[in-house]
Copies of this chain bind each other. A is one copy, B any other.
Amino acid sequence: MKPPLNVCVVGVGAVGIEILRVLKERRFPIRALKVLARSARPLSLDGESLRVEAISPEAFQGQDLVLFAGTEGEKGAAVTYAREAIRRGALVIDNGADFRMDPKVPLVIPEINPEDAKRHEGMIANPNCSTIQMVMALAPVHRRFKIRRVIVSTYQAVSGAGSKAIEALEAQTEATVRKVALPPSDPLPQTIIQNVFPEIGSFQELGYTSEEWKMVRETQKILHDDQMAITATAVRVPVVSAHSESVYFEIEHPAALQDLKGLWRQTPGVKLVEEPSYPMPVEAVHRDEVFIGRVRQDPFIKNAFSCWVVSDNLRKGAALNAVQIAELFLTP
Residues of A within 8 A of B (CB): 149, 151, 153, 155, 169, 173-174, 176-177, 190-191, 194-199, 203, 206-208, 216, 229-231, 233, 235, 237-240, 244, 246, 248, 275-276, 278, 280-282, 293-301, 304, 306, 308
Contacts and interface: CB of A to CB of B under 8 A. Distances in A.
Contacts of A207: 275, 294-296
B244 A196 contact: yes
B155 A296 contact: no
Copies of this protein, total: 2
B195 A280 contact: yes
Contacts of A230: 300
The 9 closest A-B pairs by CB, nearest first: A229-B300, A153-B246, A153-B153, A233-B246, A195-B282, A207-B296, A177-B177, A155-B196, A197-B280
**Main SS class of interface, A:** mixed
A198 B278 contact: yes
Contact of A194 (B281, B306, B308): B281
A181 to B, nearest CB: 14
Given A195-B282, A238-B238, 20 more contacts: A149-B300, A151-B151, A155-B235, A173-B177, A174-B177, A194-B238, A194-B240, A195-B239, A195-B280, A196-B237, A196-B244, A198-B246, A198-B278, A208-B296, A229-B300, A229-B301, A233-B246, A233-B306, A235-B244, A237-B237
